[in-house]
Chain A
Amino acid sequence: MTGLEVAFLLLAVSGGLAGLLVVTSRNVVHAALWLVVALASVAGMYLLLAAPFVAFVQVIIYVGAIVVLLLFGIMLTRAPVGRRVLDNSPRARVGAFVVGAGVFVMLTVFLAGAFADERISIQAATATAALGTSLFRNYVLPFEAVSVLLLAALVGAIVLARRD
């Protein structure tokens, strides 16, 4: 087992545990802070998978912007603390657990059947220049579509949240 695999497994354990705590924590603010740990672990995985630019975008957009936005949402909605008010009834939680575990088992079995022997050989990290060239040469139309989507989301959020 190489150092790369050990590092990946450590990140997987920390990301998985933090993800579990996000959905089970009784305190909304703690859940948001565990979300930071989970997202940072995923950013570390991007670094190990030779995608440094995606890793930095992950840190800037997710950890820097989305989690702060979620914390603002928590503060502005005066979210209460406690399992009873944050979660559905125990019966619904059992159902949710069954669905979640079923999805995990199904995905793992299918993926293990399809990709059991495949290995990733990590090459040099993708240069940001290569990413930009491909983005603006081959994917320029989806890029423009995303920019229009962000503008629409911006206008929509202002219209929805405006007070009058």
Chain B
Amino acid sequence: MPLLYPLTFAAFLFSVGVYGVLARRNAVMVLMSIELMLNAVNVNLVAFNAYLRDQLVSGQIFALFVIAVAAAEVGIGLAIVLLIFRNRETVNIDEVDLLRW
């Protein structure tokens, strides 16, 4: 299979994630878009692992690391979102401007 198939799909999924992060206002939806972007990176890692036939299977191992980091990230992210919701009754990221000067 041409290497471009997975690479183009990954580029598309990443761009969709970029659009979602910028266009969405709800913090949970932004987290979902970030998951899409992380998945696009994983597709690239696994595709290049198959393309290079790496003896150390580095691509797949780093895909596993990315999945573990994504799990940690979404856990912390949702904890922060819940805290914001409890304090301010909203999860719209344009209304959370405590740090704006």
Tell which of B22, B28, B68, B75 touches A146, judged by Cβ atoms closer than 8 Å: B68
CB nearest neighbor in B for A52: B60
Contacts of B42 in A (CB 8 A): 42, 54, 58
Residues of chain A at the chain B interface (Cβ within 8 Å): 2, 4-5, 8-9, 12, 15-16, 19-20, 22-23, 28, 31-32, 35, 38-39, 42, 45-46, 48-51, 53-54, 57-58, 61-62, 65-66, 69-70, 72-74, 76-77, 79, 85-88, 92-93, 95-97, 99-101, 103-104, 107-108, 111-112, 115-116, 118-120, 122-123, 126, 130-131, 134-135, 138-139, 142-143, 146, 149-150, 152-154, 156-158, 160-161, 163
Contact A22 B60 (CB under 8 A): no
Give the shortest distance, in Å, between B74 (CB) and chain A (any CB): 5
Give the shortest distance, in Å, between B14 (CB) and chain A (any CB): 7
Give the shortest distance, in Å, between A77 (CB) and chain B (any CB): 5
Main secondary structure of the interface of A (DSSP, over half): helix
Contact A45 B25 (CB under 8 A): no
Contact B71 A65 (CB under 8 A): yes
Give the shortest distance, in Å, between B61 (CB) and chain A (any CB): 5
Give the shortest distance, in Å, between A155 (CB) and chain B (any CB): 10
Give the shortest distance, in Å, between B82 (CB) and chain A (any CB): 5
Contact B25 A86 (CB under 8 A): yes
Given contacts A28-B28, A57-B64, contact A45 B15 (CB under 8 A): no
Tell which of A22, A99, A104, A160 touches B33, judged by Cβ atoms closer than 8 Å: A22
Q: How many residues on the B side are at the interface (Cβ–Cβ under 8 A)?
A: 71
9 more CB-based (< 8 A) A-B contacts, given A23-B24, A69-B78: A20-B16, A22-B36, A32-B32, A39-B35, A70-B78, A77-B27, A103-B15, A157-B78, A160-B79
Roughly how many angstroms separate A131 CA and B55 CA in the complex, as a whole number? 10
CB nearest neighbor in B for A158: B79
Contact A70 B28 (CB under 8 A): yes
Roughly how many angstroms separate A12 CA and B60 CA in the complex, as a whole number? 19
Indicate whether B96 reaches chain A with its CB closer than 8 angstroms. no
Give the shortest distance, in Å, between A121 (CB) and chain B (any CB): 8
Jot down 14 A-B pairs with beta carbons below 8 A, ordered by A.
A8-B1, A42-B42, A51-B50, A51-B63, A73-B28, A77-B27, A85-B92, A88-B22, A103-B18, A107-B15, A119-B1, A134-B57, A146-B69, A163-B86
